Structure 1
Amino acid sequence: MNAAVNSGAEGFLHRFDGLRARLPGTRMPWVQALREDAATRFRSAGFPTRRVEAWKYTDLRPVSDAGFDEALSILGDSADLPAPLCDRRAVFVDGRFREDASTLGSAEFAVDGLAQRLPQLEGRLGSLARPQEEPLVALNTMLFEDGLVVTVPAGVAGGLLELASFASGSERPAAFHPRHLIRLEAGASLTIVESARGPAETRYLHNPVFEIEVAEGATLTHTRVQQEGAKAFQLGTIYARVEAGGTYDNFTLNAGGRLVRNEIHVTLAGPRATCHMNGAQLLRHGQHADTTTFLDHAAPDCASRQTYKTVLSGKSRGVFQGKIHVHQVAQRTDGYQMNQALLLSPDAEIDSKPQLEIYADDVKCSHGATVGALDAEQLFYLRARGIPEEAARSMLVQAFLAEAIEGVADATSRAALEAAVSGWWEPAA
């Protein structure tokens, strides 16, 4: 395949044509219909450009121009992997479920690879995702090969589950598109700690899509630690639907990758549903990270909280776009959104776009954004007490981030976030 055919939207469409007969679900008409429809939509839309309002601040040309091949997993045995965070761990390498490296154990709920469960997923796969609106979701639907399927029965406390994704690394750029389906039935609970890592010198694309269903009175805590390789691209999309009295609590840390997009769509579909979407972005020279959220208040008496913090050094760029949409029926909505950025370099840039779209008249909604540098007086205070300048700067950055991380209630999730933040820090450029 030459470079012209291998790159851009045509490259992925060419790959789909070549893989049609080998992708999971080939003999299932409903799967093939999903894939063909997604391919048609992706062929029509292509990669979104900056002329599209939702992509105004993020240029996908580096992804489009890269040219990707099929992922060929070369990671060795489970001894090559970092130690697990908990007893239950699902491991993915290049987007494929590795049962041999996973430790699922026995429990009151099922954790499986999507490829092996595909015959039972008609009506569930694709029920929340919107490939007709999101080209990258269409790309995932067209080319997904595997993913995680979790179902927690009604009333079951699922405990802690680790979802660990690794890129194995190869000489040729690879792309993988896992599709994860998570369902909590009425009154169930689960905490997921998701991590994503890859080799520093390998160029690859990780394009995951989550479809999350939180039933009445259920609680899902979802902590994400993104530490992709320095040349990697991650374009992740989450769709979550929360029913009456349910809670979806998401914290996303972006600390790796060359270009990252964290897009979250949450619908509060039943009365008294709750959503917390918080996170942090830690960006060095040359990195670009985009957090875009869409929070749909579609029922009365619901509450939402969003707080995102970004630290930028060198010539890096951060983006925050957050939209709260309150339907007319969603009376007594309580929504809050805040974006804060700390610039450690004159070459760093942050684009912040908080939005409220309200059609109900009995609501309490607010949003805001702050951008600034390290406080000179605080820095002087620390220096005056004998603390070296770089150590003082580091302490102030850590303090800026600590407020966000301290809000994560689960100890294992919080420890994973603190370890990632500690490993990221180095003196500002």
Structure 2
Amino acid sequence: MSGELTPTHSPQGAASFIEQVKQAQPALAPVAHPWLACFRAEGMERFAKAGLPTTRNEAWKFTNLRGLDKLSLSPAPDAKSVPVDAIPTALEAAGPRLVFIGGQFRADLSRIQGLPDGVLLDALSAQMEADPQGLADRMEGLLARFPGADHPMRSLNAAFLADGVLLHVPAGVKLAQPVELVFLAPAGVAAAWHPRLVVVVEDGAEATIVEHHAGQPGAAYLSNIAADVAVGKGARLHHYKIQREGTDAFHIATLNTHLADASTYDTFVLNLGARLARHEARQVLGGEKIEARVSGAYAIGGDQVSDITTLIDHAKPNCTSREVVKGVIDGKARGVFQGKIIVRPDAQKTDGYQLNRALLLSETSEINSKPELEIYADDVKCSHGATAGELDEDQMFYLRARGVPRDMARVMLIGAFLDEAMDEIIDEQVRAYFRAAAAAWMGTERA
């Protein structure tokens, strides 16, 4: 199908990585259900054929995974007794929460009680034991919504399926509190984990999800997340993610979302951590009168790379999409934005908006921006734009002339730039939490 994010990948140069994958997979706990065992085996087969993405592939032209092949790909050791000093939360009130350490569910740190009748929130590992056929049916139903959307890192995730999140919200149910999903890296552990998120929000339901991904410096690890999301007719899903992995980590996330008639999907990602972070999101607007808001921000320094790659696929008429992504880049860091809007032939009356802006704080910082429109209908309103620049010297002069020290003036202007991006976050508590995290980066992380 025209416009897919990921073309066929060449396995050249990745033989050692594939061999590592094959050696690491037997360390996984076995799954008894035939479909789940087959799911792993097929994932391994697809990954072995595709190989590790390289810069020869157009979708990875600006993001080099060099160094990933040198990581330990063994699953993290048993995390049941790993001490945790603090669990991040974006909320004032205690609500439902699932916590994972090194990709493994920690029931003792989680809260899943008090949910409305019919809501299913659980770890995939628990569902593999309690209802493996139900889990298989849900996953199979979700994956059928994204034909031709295979991806080598999603195949790797499938090959190592062991744990993750299942959230199923029945028709008409509205969750009063957000669901927090916390993924922490155990300190000093060089390993790899591959959580899977399976989210179904049925017709007329509403939910908010807040993902936290965090780690400490000192270990090179891989966090490879795949999410499959379905939003039913007239349903609403707010999906927020903050990524603060360790400075030597690789964080790769792929998100597939299918939206039905008159649904609303609001998502925002904030990238602050990791040596290399790639957030790749695909939204299929599979019905009419859908509203999709797909936005994000990043603040990076040193030698970090932050890649936000999106595909918004307008398959039906009378839908609206809005995308705003802003980045602050310091040191020798590099930002990547690849955003594509596709308007299919039947998608008349489409309204699509896309904006990418980057703020370069040093002479060695870099931005690669590739906004795209691919339009096959004639009655549409679509626009995109991309800009990159330095701090405005006139604004600096204005603040300095009023007695503001230079360093403080820089922080104020950077904060205002990022705040504009985070205005896209609808939930006030989450917006405040993300802004505080960005402010902490400005105070302690810039390099």
Which TM-score bucket, shorter chain as reference?
over 0.9
SS of equivalent residue, structure 2 residue 48: helix
Q: Distance in 2 between matches of 1:73 and 1:369?
A: 45
Aligned residue in 1 for 2:96: 88
Aligned residue in 1 for 2:19: 10
Q: Distance in 2 between matches of 1:133 and 1:182?
A: 18
Number of equivalences = 421
User: What does the per-residue CA deviation read over 1:71-101, in whole Å, with 9 as the maximum and x for residues that have no partner?
Assistant: 1144757762336433211111111121110
SS of equivalent residue, structure 1 residue 226: strand
SS of equivalent residue, structure 1 residue 391: helix
Q: Call closer, same or farther: CA 1:355–1:289 in 2, change over 3 Å.
A: same
How big is the shift at 1:170? 3.4
Aligned residue in 2 for 1:46: 51
User: What does the per-residue CA deviation read over 1:306-358, in whole Å, with 9 as the maximum and x for residues that have no partner?
Assistant: 00001000000000000111110111010011100000001000000001111
The answer as to whether partners of 2:27 and 2:74 remain within 8 angstroms in 1 is: no
Aligned residue in 1 for 2:251: 234
1:219 equivalent in alignment to 2:215: no
In structure 1, runs of 5+ residues without a counterpart are none
Q: Distance in 2 between matches of 1:132 and 1:297?
A: 15
What pairs with 1:146-157 in structure 2 (closer than 5 Å)? 146-157=163-174
Q: Distance in 1 between matches of 2:147 and 2:86?
A: 34
1:336 equivalent in alignment to 2:353: yes
Q: Call closer, same or farther: CA 1:83–1:53 in 2, change over 3 Å.
A: closer
What pairs with 1:400-411 in structure 2 (closer than 5 Å)? 400-411=417-428
The TM-score, its normalising length taken from structure 2, stands at 0.90
Q: Distance in 2 between matches of 1:370 and 1:415?
A: 26
Aligned residue in 2 for 1:144: 161
Q: Call closer, same or farther: CA 1:312–1:73 in 2, change over 3 Å.
A: farther
The answer as to whether partners of 2:299 and 2:441 remain within 8 angstroms in 1 is: yes
The answer as to whether partners of 2:263 and 2:291 remain within 8 angstroms in 1 is: yes
Aligned residue in 1 for 2:112: 104
Q: Distance in 2 between matches of 1:33 and 1:304?
A: 37
1:114 equivalent in alignment to 2:128: no
Aligned residue in 2 for 1:345: 362
Q: Call closer, same or farther: CA 1:281–1:5 in 2, change over 3 Å.
A: closer
Aligned residue in 2 for 1:246: 263
1:388 equivalent in alignment to 2:405: yes
Q: Call closer, same or farther: CA 1:402–1:47 in 2, change over 3 Å.
A: same
The answer as to whether partners of 2:235 and 2:264 remain within 8 angstroms in 1 is: yes
Aligned residue in 2 for 1:169: 187
User: What does the per-residue CA deviation read over 1:81-139, in whole Å, with 9 as the maximum and x for residues that have no partner?
Assistant: 33643321111111112111001221112210111213121232253367973100000
Q: Call closer, same or farther: CA 1:32–1:57 in 2, change over 3 Å.
A: same
How big is the shift at 1:70? 1.8
Aligned residue in 2 for 1:123: 137
Q: Distance in 1 between matches of 2:363 and 2:204?
A: 49
What pairs with 1:311-326 in structure 2 (closer than 5 Å)? 311-326=328-343
Q: Distance in 2 between matches of 1:358 and 1:124?
A: 33
Q: Distance in 2 between matches of 1:130 and 1:32?
A: 21
Output the aligned Cα RMSD.
Answer: 1.9
The TM-score, its normalising length taken from structure 1, stands at 0.94
Aligned residue in 2 for 1:58: 63
What amino acid is the match of 1:424? Answer: W
1:19 equivalent in alignment to 2:32: no
Q: Distance in 1 between matches of 2:272 and 2:309?
A: 16
How big is the shift at 1:382? 0.7
Within the candidate set 133, 158, 164, 2:175 is matched to 158
The answer as to whether partners of 1:6 and 1:14 remain within 8 angstroms in 2 is: no
Q: Distance in 2 between matches of 1:5 and 1:296?
A: 31
User: What does the per-residue CA deviation read over 1:272-310, in whole Å, with 9 as the maximum and x for residues that have no partner?
Assistant: 112101110101111001000011101110110000001
How big is the shift at 1:9? 2.1
